[in-house]
Structure formats: C-alpha cells, structure tokens
Structure 1
Amino acid sequence: MMADLVIENLVVTFGRGHHAVNAVDDVSLTVPHGTTVGLVGESGSGKSTVARTVAGLQKPTSGRILLDGKDLAVGRRDRRAHARDVQMIFQDPYSSLNPRMSVGETLDEALATHGGGNARARAAGVKELLELVRLKPGVSELHPSSLSGGMRQRVAIARCLAVKPRLIIADEITSALDASVQGAVLNLMRDLQRELELSVLFITHNLAAVRYIADTTAVMRNGEIVEHGDADAIVSNPVHPYTQALVAAIPRIQNAGTDSLLHSIGS
C-alpha cells in the first residue's frame, strides 16, 4: 500500500502570549513511499515534536500532515484508525512494553486490536513477526525484564509491524542501546524497510546512523529545518554552519562509540 507523507508548514506552539514558543516553526517535509527520511538535530531542536505530531500524540497549531493526500490532523479522532496508519517506535523499549505481559501476549494483543483473526491465526502471526525481527520463537514466552535492550527494541519493532502501518516513525530507537547493539538494530531496520517497502521517518541525533539508514536527511535547529538533501551528502559535504558544527562535533561527542557503531554496521 502506497504511503507518501507530506508535512506542510507545520507549526506547534507551546505556551501562550509572551510565553509562547514555537517548538516547530513552519516545517515542511516529504517522506516518499518506500523511503527512509532522517530528521536530525540536537536535543530541543523540535524533531521529536514533529514525530509526536505526525503520530497524533501532539496537536498541531497550524499546518497540514497528509498521508496519501488525507489530512491526519483533521477528522481523525479515532485513535485506533490513526494507529493503523502511523506507528511509532520509541527511544526506550523497556518503558514502551508492558512488563506484565510476555512477548507473545504483547504481539497477540497488537494483532487482536487491529483485526489479526482468530487465536490460531494470531499465534501464526506472532511467530512470523518474531522471525521478521530475527528472534527465535521461544522468545514469545519471555517477559521484557528477561530480554536485553536490543531484544526489547526488536520486540517493539515487531509490535509496530503487527499493525501493518503505512508509515513508521522511529524516534531515537538506538540511543538507549549499547554501541555494540546499535548497528544490529540499524541493520534490521534497513533490511525491513527494503523487504517490506516501508515508509520511515527516522528521528535521531546520530549523524553516523542517519547517513547509513536514510535516503535523504533534514537537519533541524530551533524548530526549523536548516538543511535538507541526500543523506550521504549532508554528512560528507554539509552546507549550513549548524550542520557543519554537528559534523565537526562527531569525534568529540561520540568518540569511540561512533567507530564502534560504524564497525558493527560494516561487519
């Protein structure tokens, strides 16, 4: 199913009067069907507010969010309908999973909520989802507390895929993971995006990650997009001074962590 996301002149304002602040200020961005678009910026840049607004978790002040021409922000009071179209994978996989439910129960619930058939069909669906995210069937019996961070994030990705969304928003999905695990999760996301022809808005502060996984990249600062272009070109030949500063800061901020990430991606 085609899924072109078009964000037009999006504004999200917090506060009122003299205390009002535009967390997102006239942002326009397109995620063509079957592509990954990276949205990069430091903490407070507004990138996660964009993600939450597209996901329907934050009300826009003005502007439009279109998915194949249909405005997600207007007349979409049915949260279940919105969730069928747009699914979000969060930064912390542990907090996004119910600790009282096994992996199998978590995935079964997602399938049941969105019309996954009878119990037998859902059981087959759970097995298929675990295979998609490269987890063994026995993991279905485990609870989140028994899983590593990387395995939890794979379960969160599987739960997202259970809905068969038209758009996936990945919000800092590797930042809570060890550097040695980040590359494996990025590899998985890249493989799934290609296998399933997913449309993905990939939110991150990690330029190494976005260079690897994204087709195009937009750089945000103070609620605005300051640079947008080919993902590799953004990192190898940044034009805007802010982007140049982000690229120059990579060795100082990430140091060996970046090398570890890049090594694991390439292995």
Structure 2
Amino acid sequence: MAELVIEDLVVTFGHRQRAFNAVDGVSLTVPHGTIVGLVGESGSGKSTVARTVAGLQRATSGRITLDGDDLLHTRGVDRRHRAQGVQMIFQDPYSSLNPRMTVGETIEEALTTHRDLNAKQRAASVRELLELVRLKPAVAGQYPSQISGGMRQRVAIARCLAVRPRLIVADEITSALDASVQGAVLNLIRDLQRELELSMIFITHNLAAVRYIADTTAVMSRGRVVEYGDAEEIVANPRHPYTQALVSAIPRIENAGTDHLLRLADEDGLR
C-alpha cells in the first residue's frame, strides 16, 4: 500500500511583514494506486506542495505521511529511505538529466544508489526500464542532447521507476514538450500507473490532461484547495467560481485538440 496524507500543510515564504503563505492549510489524500491531479494557475501553490512532499521544500507547519511514515522529519540516514518512498519527475527533462552521462549511466546511477545489484543485473535492469517506458535498448548509449524532448522525459520516468518509489510526484511533465508528443507521454503515464499500481500526484495547469489521466482532482487558488472531487465531474460541472473561471477560460478548440492528440497517440501505439 502507498497512501499519502497531507494535513493542514502550511509553507511560508518571507519574514515578518513580508511573510506570506504560499501553501495555506492544504489537506489532501492520495489513496493507494490512484492519480490525484493538482490544478491551478501559476502561483497557486501547487508546485510548492509538490516540492514539500518530495522533501525539496521545508514546511512551516502541518503533517505529511506516507503509509503512516512521517515525511517532514527525516534526517541523515533516513533521507535515502525517503527517496525510495517519494520520487519527483520535473517539468524540464533536459535540465533534470546530467548532460555528461549517457541514458544508461543515468538510470544505472539510480540503481546503484538505491538497489543492491551487480553489474550484470544493473545492465539488465536498464534494458527492462527502457522497454517499460517504450524506448529501445540502444538509447542507453546516447546522451540527453542526442534524443528528443519526449524521449528525455521517458528517460526521466525510467530513472524514477528504477528507485521503485511508493509515490511519484509529476510536476508539469508535459508542459515543456511539443504538443505532438504530449499525448504519448500522458498515455505512457496512464498505462504505467495501471500496470504498476502507482500512487501519483499529477500537477498541471491543463484541465484536459487532468480529466484524461487523474482519478480525482484538487483545484488550488492562492495556496488553498478550493475544490476537490472526481476529475471528470470537476471539469464537466465545476462548482467553485475559481474552477468555473478556469474551465471557461479554456478555448474549446484547444481542449478538442488535446483530446485529438490523445486519441492519435492511442491509435499510433505511442503508449
């Protein structure tokens, strides 16, 4: 099981008169084997929540647990255990990969750090992970600069899976990609989540993507969750005025275009 529970999370930036709460009392649950979409405009606090869950941002107050384990008070030797519990996939796959390491070396580094495998086992695991994210084994010998943005994001996903995390935090992982490959990456995430029963926080500003990939959705505004519920229902029948504004602001042609790309990715086998 891998259930994440966030209770009354507060993250404050600045001091005294200049202090403000980027995250202001957020409570959220990610049940085992589900994807929870976290949606909001830039500055809404969604990425701060993500970084806090992943241990990259210190919380001011509140509680975050994964299967009952406290994630806010891990120090020293516990950091590796935390990394095995939560892994984050970042928005820009090029900046998150070491340009001086081949794809194979990047994945093998994660295997060496978090799993006790010999050289032969690591090589086999690299091949399996590449195949899992729909990449050919030959990609292992290439550098990030030699492959496309969509392929780089798949490598980042493979590196994440190498750790065998209990929870994945995906922060705007399609926003830096060309529209033509966004659907393929979303399909891959959806298929991996079902196949591996992953628990995931999927952060995006794209409501069409959330409707397609998430089980439930939390809408954030000014550091607070203003609406939470079934992903399809929130997009189809938003209740909070802020959510209604987000939905009404999406051009219909853009929404239709996203759905069309997802269908094309399915038909072309880009999954």
Cross-structure match for 1:184: 184
- 1:218 has 2:212 as partner: no
Query: Unaligned regions of 5+ residues in structure 1, if any?
Result: none
Displacement of 1:93: 0.2
Structure-to-structure mapping, 1:8-157, within 5 angstroms: 8-77=7-76, 78-157=78-157
Partners of 1:260 and 1:148 lie apart in 2 by 22
Of 236, 256, 260 in structure 2, the residue corresponding to residue 259 of structure 1 is 256
> In structure 2, the residue corresponding to 1:12 is in which secondary structure?
strand
Between 181-190 and 76-85, report the one with greater CA deviation.
Answer: 76-85
Deviations 1:150-191 (A, max 9, x none): 000000000000000000000000000011110000000000
Q: Could you tell me how far apart the structure 2 residues matched to 1:229 and 1:264 are? A: 25
TM-score, length basis structure 1? 0.97
Letter in 1 for 2:229: G
How far does residue 17 in structure 1 lie from its aligned partner after superposition? 0.7
Structure 2 SS opposite 1:88: strand
Aligned partners of 2:139, 2:260: CA distance in 1, in Å? 28
**Counterpart AA for 2:24:** D
**1:162 aligned partner, one-letter code:** A
Secondary structure in 1 matching 2:250: helix
Q: Deviations over 1:44-103 (max 9, x none)?
A: 000000000000000100000000111100134433221111000000000000000000
Distance 1:130 1:260 in 2: 29
CA distance in structure 2 between the aligned counterparts of 1:75 and 1:152, rounded to whole angstroms: 31
SS at the partner of 1:177?
coil
**Matched positions, count:** 263
| 3-state secondary structure, aligned to 1:188 | helix
Query: Is 2:40–2:219's contact at 8 Å kept on the other side of the alignment?
Result: yes
> Residues 92 and 176 of structure 1 are in contact (CA less than 8 Å); yes or no, is this contact kept in structure 2?
yes
One-letter amino acid of the structure 1 residue matched with residue 149 of structure 2: G
CA distance in 2, matches of 1:109, 1:45: 34
For the Cα contact (< 8 Å) 2:84–2:164, is it kept in 1? yes
Q: Sequence identity of aligned pairs in percent?
A: 75
Preserved CA contact (<8 Å) 1:37 1:215: yes
Distance 2:186 2:95 in 1: 20
Q: Which amino acid aligns with 2:67?
A: D
Q: After TM superposition, what 4+ stretches of structure 1 lie above 4 angstroms from structure 2?
A: none
**Local SS of the residue matching 1:27:** strand
Length-normalised TM-score, structure 2 = 0.95
CA distance in 2, matches of 1:260, 1:233: 20
1:116 positional shift: 4.2
Amino acid at match of 1:132: L
Alignment RMSD, CA only?
Answer: 1.0
